[in-house]
Amino acid sequence: MQGFFEARIPLKKGLKSPMIALVIITHFGDHSFRIESGSTAILFNPPNNRLKADLVVWSEAKDDDLKLAGREINFAGDYEAQGIEIRGWASPEERKKNDPMVTSYMVSWEDIHLAFPGPIHEKPSEAALDAWEDVGVLFLPVGEKMGLSVEEAVKLIKSLNEPGYVIAYGPQVQEFSKKIGQSIEKMEKLVFKKKDIPTKTTFITFV
Beta pairing class for 101-109 and 112-116: antiparallel
CB 114 within 8 A of CB 35: yes
Name which residue leads in pLDDT, 185 or 61.
Answer: 185
| Residue 114, domain member (yes or no) | yes
| Residue 93, domain member (yes or no) | yes
Write down the pTM of the prediction.
0.87
The domain total for the chain is 1
pLDDT at 100: 85
Beta strands in 6-164 (DSSP E): 23-27, 33-37, 40-44, 55-57, 60-61, 72-73, 77-81, 84-90, 101-109, 112-116, 137-141
Name which residue leads in pLDDT, 3 or 25.
Answer: 25
**Residue 195 sits in which domain range?**
23-206
pLDDT at 67: 56
| Residue 127, domain member (yes or no) | yes
- 77-117: pLDDT as tens digits: 999 876 789 999 998 877 777 788 899 999 998 789 999 99
| Residue 34, domain member (yes or no) | yes
| Residue 201, domain member (yes or no) | yes
Residue 118 has pLDDT above 80, yes or no: yes
Percent of the chain with pLDDT over 90: 66
- 128-163: pLDDT as tens digits: 999 998 899 999 999 988 899 999 999 999 999 999
- The CATH number that applies at residue 168 is 3.60.15.10
* 8-state DSSP, 197: S
| Residue 130, domain member (yes or no) | yes
| Residue 75, domain member (yes or no) | yes
Q: Taking residues 118-125, report their average pLDDT.
A: 92
Coil, helix or strand for 60? strand
User: What's the rounded Cα separation, in Å, for the pair 197 and 180?
Assistant: 20
- 151-203: pLDDT as tens digits: 999 999 999 999 999 999 999 999 999 999 999 999 999 999 999 999 999 99
| Residue 39, domain member (yes or no) | yes
pLDDT at 13: 41
Summary mean pLDDT of the chain: 86
User: What's the rounded Cα separation, in Å, for the pair 37 and 78?
Assistant: 22
